[in-house]
Amino acid sequence: MILYTNENDKKNIHKNSKSIKIVIWYIINIEVVQVYQVFVVEDELLIRQSIRNVIEKMPGPFALCGEASDGEMALAMMQDLMPDILLTDIRMPFLDGFELIKNCKAMMPWLKVVIISGFGDFESAQKAISLGVDQYLLKPVRQADLIKVVEEMAERIEKDKAARGDTLPDGLDEEEVLKVLQQHFMRQIIYGEADTGKLLERMQRLKLDIMRTHYLVAVSSFDTPNIDHKILENTVTLALNETRTLMYYFNNKDRMTILAYDNDADAMTERVYRFLAILRHELRDICPVITTVISNDVRRLGEISEAYSTAYGLLKTVSSIAAGQVINVSDTAQVSANIVQKNTPFYDSFRKKLQNADVKNIDDLLDEIFQSPEGEQFNSRLMRYNALIALVKIAVQMMARANPNIDEKDAAAELSSQFDILSAAGSKAGFRETAKGLIQKALTARQDDSGEIKYHHVISRAEAYVKENFCDPNISLISAANYVAMSAAYFSTVFSQTTGRSFISYLTELRIEKAKELLTTTNMKLADIALAIGYSEPNYFSHVFRKSEGITPKEYRNREGRS
C-alpha cells in the first residue's frame, strides 16, 4: 500500500496525526487490498536474494515492494512504502530486528511481522511475542514453509479487516473523516494514483459528485514565509462557500491546488477566477503575493493529473519572474510578453555580444556563451527561460529601432509564440535551437532599414489572405509567410514595419470583431463561436476576448442585447 506520493505529502500528513489516522483507517478497512506488499530485511546478501526469489515467484496477489540490509535503512524505506508484511532477521548492524519491529508497529499497526532468524533461544522468542510478532521461522528456511507463512499473513490481514468492519477511529466524527478522505481523494486525482474505475468507486463512497464534462486545475503558491496555515485554510474554505463545484488540496504549506468541474466550461472558468479574486482580497494583508497558473480545460478524470503537471511545471518556471500574476497555460506567449519588460540576468551580456556579431557566426557565438563562466547557469530551466526572454527583448528592441511605430509588447508576444519560449526552455537542445533563431531575428532586425522596405504589395496580399482565412484554427505566421513566399522571421519583421502592428495583433483583432458580430446577431453558444472564429479552446477565446474588450463574451452579449 502506497500512502505518500512524495516528500511534501509525507511531511504534510505527518503534521496532522488525525489525518494520518483517518487515512490509515480508510486504507486498511475500506480499500480492497489488490496486492499484498512484502518487505524483506536481511544483512546476508545470499539469504536476502533467496527470499526475494521466493516472493517474486509466488502465485497470487503478492509483490516484493522493497528490501534492505539493516534495520535503519529498512525503517526509512518502509515509511514511504507502507508494506503489509515484514520478513526480518533479528541480529543486524545499526538497528536490530527487535527495534525495527517496535518502530514499525507504532507506525503501521496493521503490519504482519515474520522473524527469520538463526537464533531460536527462549529469550528471543519471548521478546518477539511481547512485540506482537506473528510468526517465527528458524534458518535455514525451506521455500515451502516461507510460502505457507506469507499466505497465512495474508489470511490474517483479511480476517482482521473483517473483524474491524467500518467502525470509525476513536474521537472522530463522520464529517471530519469525510473531509480528510476527500482531501486524500483529491491528491489521488491530481497525482494520477488511481485509474478511472477506482476513482468512480471512491467518489461514491465519499459522497462526491464531480462527474462532469469539463475540468480545470489551478495551482497557487503563497509567497509569505511562515504563513499561518490555519488562517489560510479557513480563508480558502470561506471562499469556496461563495463558489460551488470546487475542491482544494494543500500540496504543502505554501502551495495549493484547486479542482473545478462543470458541464459549462465558461461558467467553470469564471468561477475559478472569481474564487481567486476573493482569495487574493481576503489574504491581501497576510499574503499579498499569490501566483497562480490555470490549466487548460480537460474532458476526462484521467486527464486531470496531466493538467496538474503542466500547470505546476509552468508555476515553477515563472513564479520568481511573474510573481503575483494569474497565468493561463494556453497563453504562454503573453506571459513572455509581460515578463520581457523586466531585465533578466543575461540581458546586458547578450546585448553587448550582439552589437558586433554577424549572422554567419551565430553558432560560434553560442559556443562562446556556453563555454563562458555563465554557461553552467544554463543547466537550470529557469535560467534558460530567463536567457530566452533576454533575447526576445533584444530582438524586439532592434525591431523597434527599425520601425518606431511597432508595439513592443505585441512583438514580444508574437516572438515568444513563434519560438514557443516555454517549451524551448525545457531542454538544452531546445534552448540552443531557439536561442539561435532569436539571435538571427535580432541580427536581421539590426541590419534592416525600414526606409528601404518596399513590400507593401506583399503585405497587402498577406492581409487579404488573413481576412479570408482568419477563422481557420491552423492559420499562423508561418502559413501567411509561406503564402507570400517569405521566411517566417523576415515576414514578421516586414509585416510589423509596414502595418505598425504585429501579425498576432492583426489576426486577433479580426477574430474579436467577428466574435462581437456573432455574439450580438446570433444565439450561438460561446464554444461554437470560439470554433467559428478559429479558437479550438473556448476558455482561451474567453481569455483573449476579455483582454481585448475588458469584459467576458457573456457580459458583452448581455450588455449589447440590452442596448
Q: What sign does the dihedral 436-442-446-452 (CA atoms) show? A: positive
Among the ranges 16-25, 27-36, 506-515, which has the highest mean pLDDT value? 506-515
Compute the average pLDDT of residues 533-549. Answer: 85
Phi first, then psi: give them for residue 113, nearest 5 degrees: -120, 130
pTM above threshold 0.85: no
What pLDDT shows up at residue 1?
A: 31
Checking 394-401 for CB contacts under 8 A at 24+ apart, the result is 394/347, 394/350, 394/351, 394/354, 394/438, 394/442, 395/438, 395/441, 395/442, 395/445, 396/340, 398/442, 398/443, 398/445, 398/446, 399/445, 399/493, 399/496, 399/497, 401/445, 401/446
What pLDDT shows up at residue 33?
A: 45
Radius of gyration of the chain (CA): 30
Phi first, then psi: give them for residue 385, nearest 5 degrees: -65, -45
Q: Name the more confident of 201 and 544.
A: 544
Compute the average pLDDT of residues 537-549. Answer: 84
Average pLDDT, the chain: 76
Specify burial of residue 133 (Cβ count, 10 A radius: 0-12, 13-18, 19+): buried
Residue 221 has pLDDT above 90, yes or no: no
DSSP conformation class of 95: S
Phi/psi-derived region of residue 256, left when phi > 0, alpha when psi is between -120 and 50, beta in every other case: beta
In one-letter notation, the amino acid at residue 253 is K
Residue 453, all three cell numbers: 522596405
What pLDDT band is residue 533 in, cutting at 50, 70 and 90? very high
Query: pLDDT digits over 481-492, tens only?
Result: 888 888 777 788
Q: Do 192 and 303 form a contact (C-beta atoms < 8 A)?
A: no
H helix runs in 342-420, sequence order: 347-355, 362-371, 381-402, 408-419
DSSP conformation class of 487: -
Residue 172 has pLDDT above 60, yes or no: no
What pLDDT shows up at residue 28?
A: 46
What pLDDT shows up at residue 167?
A: 47
Query: pLDDT digits over 185-219, tens only?
Result: 888 888 887 777 777 777 777 777 788 888 999 99
Residue 300 has pLDDT above 80, yes or no: yes
Residue 479 has pLDDT above 80, yes or no: yes
What pLDDT shows up at residue 326?
A: 81
**Could you give the C-alpha distances from 383 to 157, 320, 333, 346, 396, in angstroms and in order?**
51, 11, 18, 9, 20
What pLDDT shows up at residue 511?
A: 92
Q: Which is it for strands 246-252 and 255-262: parallel, antiparallel or unpaired? A: antiparallel
As a whole number of angstroms, the distance between CA 412 and CA 339 comes to 10
Among the ranges 115-124, 269-278, 280-289, 468-477, which has the highest mean pLDDT value? 468-477
What pLDDT band is residue 451 in, cutting at 50, 70 and 90? very low
Least trusted range by pLDDT, from 22-31, 230-239, 279-288, 507-516: 22-31
Q: Do 249 and 256 form a contact (C-beta atoms < 8 A)?
A: yes
Q: Name the more confident of 40 and 246.
A: 40
What pLDDT shows up at residue 562?
A: 54
Among the ranges 147-156, 397-406, 433-442, 540-549, which has the highest mean pLDDT value? 147-156
Domains (ranges, CATH) in the chain? 31-164 (3.40.50.2300), 210-230+252-276+286-324 (no CATH), 331-447 (no CATH), 454-563 (1.10.10.60)
Intra-chain end-to-end CA distance of the chain, in Å:
62
What pLDDT band is residue 453 in, cutting at 50, 70 and 90? very low
Compute the average pLDDT of residues 491-511. Answer: 81
